[in-house]
Structure 1
């Protein structure tokens, strides 16, 4: 099994970038989920679960700073809250992880009624980066599990060839000098159904995952040994 693609998503719920190599820190890929859009009026961190239009923008890290390309092609970054607010029609702040409170993460929402986008619940994410859960700082999925679905729907960091990553849960994988503890399977939500550039809304994706994979696609890992990874690197599993 080898790494086929490395993805970084600098801004929570905004499109990401493909990398030839990446630095892995204890919080995951350096810069991954390092920023988010904060809704001043509601106090929540915006995600495409509630605000699907986020997925029509993209973000990349340039010299340690984030650059967001809006759907109209304009580029914005830190200090451009007015442009982001105009785009989304509400008072928005671009925030870096840990910028306002070193201990707190984002406050996120998800609908329990997927088809009607109703019955919303919220929770507090972990600090350090804008991940949904402290139990997964690096996500990994195989091409076998992805089938012919567009990989952008799942926002997974590492795509590997072959299949069988679900069997890694509770064990470890080594990629170069990086060692990961495979903590959990990742359960999927309405996010995977959202439209993106050249992708329509598709409820069947989530229905199929729920029916055939018991809601899970990809695995979430914690970083035991930071380091560097690159496309083509071997992924070595061990039970201990």
Structure 2
């Protein structure tokens, strides 16, 4: 089985490539660094030729509303057209839990538009929506610094370690197309401001975190349903606290 991973050099892509290769599959890591560009179309036809499965884990280089929409629509159209011409049998994409619930976020609208392109394509498909990765919580907290305090929403978040997302994505990739969207999330739903306090305490950062219900997340205000999975989701096992202790010990 030939599998092409678009975005194969990123956090998720590189881990997915390694895991799929360990399964014995022929795996091609595709990215602009390898001469494959889903925006310009460069190298697309060549890389998907003979592919059974294409997995799209590429992300927009900009979180700006317009730039993200242009990226996901252009990339998605080019990629799906190349796959259709090559006879690809399964398109797999990684998306985000909450895309259909957070219309105030331009980035989430862009991801929802990507999902809609996939669903409208004649290519059999599977979409895995994941909650936020533990590895990115630090960036979220850092971006919330307002003077000497951090302002974070108290809404629930259900983050997950990236390794467990990759495991779920690999299983879907090696299986039959679902023609359905499935979710994966972490084992705990915790208020975002509490995640921030736990992170700061672990790094001995004494600055305060203010719970602000109007604090924005990718441009949207959150509620307790925005960033958590539904009842049929696949649930990971590693808690944020355990991951945090392990990551600090490894530094």
Q: TM-score scaled by structure 2?
A: 0.27
Between 1 and 2, higher relative CO (CA 8 Å, sep ≥ 6) is seen in 1
* Structure with a larger share of its residues in helix: 2
* Structure with a larger share of its residues in strand: 1
Q: TM-score scaled by structure 1?
A: 0.27
Query: Higher Cα Rg: structure 1 or 2?
Result: 2
